[in-house]
Amino acid sequence: MCDSPAKSGYKGWRGWLPLPTSRTEKPLGDWIDLTYPLSPDVPRVGMFPAPKFTRIAEMPAQPLNVTHMDTVVHMGTHLDAPRHFFLDGPAMEAIPLERFMGRGVVVRIDQPAYGVIEPADLERVEPGIEAGDILAIDTGWGATWGTPDWDHQPCLSLEAARWLLEKRVKLVAVDTPTPDLPLDRRPPDFTWPVHRTLLAHGILIAEQLANLRSLAGRRVEFVFGPLPIAGSDGSPARVLARPVARPA
């Protein structure tokens, strides 16, 4: 389904999956912010340093405030571009806008530490996952932020990633640090198979979403707002969603 980096030379971008015709659905509520505020304390993968914010100009000594930011782009609530794992894949500034917004579903799949989401878990969710959906998976893991369990998150199996590819979803968002194996469960030859399976076909990945439980079990409209950082493999993003009526 997706060659390993050792075989492919870190290439293997296969283009964007075609999307079904978009539908207009009636909003049923207000927009909800699914973003963690970006700060030195923001949820992050344990291997990354915390972001740093320093004032290079500050009132009242100066007539304005100017903040300098130093951070990994995969920080807090963020989006992965295909360039994250494929040298021939598009970077953030080259992703079409329609890939960042549209209809979808928030599904609740509660998992314990090191739990694994399988195709059967995805098949039985309500509402069901449809072609072209933006899928957000609420595992309940956001409740562990600030505890030692944060990096022991549940993940998707490779079979689940392939199931989502066959379903032809547009974007997969999770409330965990990563949809792949936790850091301490990765073998020496680990190749990020979930990321590579999805991103190779233009299924974007968003990580560390907040407040998903408030929309679990609902059809929703999403808006993802990453920065178009030239040549970048990812970007912090503001993520919004609101419930919508089920399609007729």
β-strand partners of 27: 244
**What pLDDT score does 1 carry?**
44
pLDDT for the residue 115: 97
Residue-range domains of the chain with CATH: 12-243 (3.50.30.50)
pLDDT at 113: 96
pLDDT at residue 23, rounded to an integer? 75
Which pairing describes strands 234-243 and 78-80: parallel, antiparallel, or unpaired?
antiparallel
Indicate left, alpha or beta for 140 from its phi (over 0: left) and psi (-120 to 50: alpha): left
| Secondary structure (DSSP) of 180-225 | S--GGG--TT---HHHHHHHTTT-EEEE----GGGGTTEEEEEEEE
Residue-wise DSSP of 84-116: GT-TTS--GGGS-GGGGEEEEEEEE----TT-E
CA 72 – CA 62 distance, rounded (Å): 29
In the chain, how long is the greatest CA-to-CA distance? 60
What pLDDT was estimated at residue 197?
A: 97
Q: What number of other Cβ atoms are within 10 A of residue 143's Cβ?
A: 12
> Within the chain, which residues score under 50 in pLDDT?
1
Q: What is the pLDDT of residue 146?
A: 79
Residues whose CB falls within 8 Å of the CB of residue 105, separated by 6 or more in sequence, listed in order: 125, 127, 128, 129, 130, 133, 134, 135, 136, 218, 219, 220
What is the radius of gyration, based on Cα positions, of the chain?
Answer: 18
3-state helix, strand, coil in the chain (%, to 5): 20, 25, 55
pLDDT in the model for residue 21: 82
62: DSSP letter: S
- Distance, in Å, from the CA atom of 220 to the CA atom of 27, rounded to the nearest integer, reads 8
Q: Rounded distance, CA 111 to CA 37, Å?
A: 25
Q: How far is CA 248 from the centre of its chain?
A: 28
